[in-house]
Homo-oligomer: A and B are copies of this chain.
Amino acid sequence: MTVSRALRDGASIAAETRDKIMKAVEQLGYVLDQSAGSLSSKRTGFVAVLVPSINNSNFADTARGLTDALQGSGLQLLLGYTDYLIEKEEELIESMLRRRPEAIVVTGGKHTPRGRKLLEKAGIPVIETWDLPPKAVRHVVGFSNAEAAEALVRYLHEKGYRKIGFIGGTSNRDTRGADRRLGYERAMAALGLMDTRIISFGTPPISMKQGGEALAQLIEQWPDVEAAICVSDLSAFGALTECQRRKIPVPNRIAIAGFGDFEISSCSHPSITTVGVNCYDIGRRSGELLLRAIEGERARRPIAAETIMTQYSVIARDSA
Contacts and interface: CB of A to CB of B under 8 A. Distances in A.
A36 B99 CA distance: 9
Contacts of A267: 208-209, 212, 237-238, 241
Nearest to A54: B60
Contacts of A31: 94, 97-98, 118
B266 A209 contact: yes
B98 A34 contact: yes
A87 interface: no
A263 B35 contact: no
A244 B57 CA distance: 25
A129 to B, nearest CB: 16
A76 B96 CA distance: 10
Contact of A55 (B39, B57, B78, B241): B57
User: A-side binding surface: helix, strand, loop or mixed?
Assistant: helix
Given A39-B39, A60-B60, A241-B268, A121 B32 contact: no
Interface string A90-105: 0000110111100000
A196 interface: no
A155 interface: no
Interface size band for A:
35 or more
Contacts of A95: 76
Count chain B CB atoms within 10 A of each CB in A60, A94, A118, A266 and give the residue with the most: A60
Interface in A32-80: 32-36, 38-39, 44, 54-55, 57, 60-61, 63-64, 67, 76-79
A117 interface: yes
Contacts of A32: 98
State the 9 A-B residue pairs at the shortest beta-carbon distance, nearest first: A244-B269, A208-B267, A34-B98, A29-B121, A241-B269, A55-B60, A35-B38, A31-B97, A35-B35
Given A208-B263, A209-B263, A237-B264, 10 more contacts: A33-B39, A34-B100, A35-B44, A54-B60, A76-B95, A77-B79, A79-B79, A207-B263, A208-B267, A244-B269
